[in-house]
Structure 1
Amino acid sequence: MVAILTRGNGEVMATAADFDPKSPGYGTVDSAQKGRARQALANTFVREWCGADIAEVMRGYDAEQLVDALCQRKGYQVTMIAAGGDPSPAATEEG
């Protein structure tokens, strides 16, 4: 699963991927990869765009909340593409 964070103008702000075939006993591989890729995307964004002190303390859930807020309030978009999948708008997951 490849995750891409873009601004409203299409500028790529961060990317991340997860190809681990493991999933929790209650979920699918697809949903597990989406979750891990989204968390990695948020962590990558914070690490690349925030100061070192902020990146050190803002990880996981906090980083995901920041990305969610950017999507909801600033027009950012998270796109998930399954490996070998269709990068069409239908494959896009916002927020």
Structure 2
Amino acid sequence: MVNIKNFLMAKGGNYAMGEMKTLRIMSALLEEWTLPDKMTVTWDVDNSQEVAHAGETFRQYLADGWMAFSDDPRGRRQIFQFNPQLERIVLVPPLGGG
């Protein structure tokens, strides 16, 4: 599979794009949640409308109790603010328990 970002950078382009995905886990534990099926939001860092939409989506999920993690070569870590420079953000639903 060709990584489009690496391809464009090799061609001399200055292109950056990000992606945000939800993670479905053990739906039996999450009966009260309606999970989107493989929701994906992408954005081009140079497109302010796409960045604004991705940022709003990120904030909505966190407000609903989801956790967000960056998934980049430096390692996975929990994040609390949207950063459009991140290549991938993974959203994890809240877990019920008791």
**With structure 2 as the length reference, what TM-score do the two structures score?**
0.31
**Which is richer in strand?**
2
**Which is richer in helix?**
1
**With structure 1 as the length reference, what TM-score do the two structures score?**
0.31
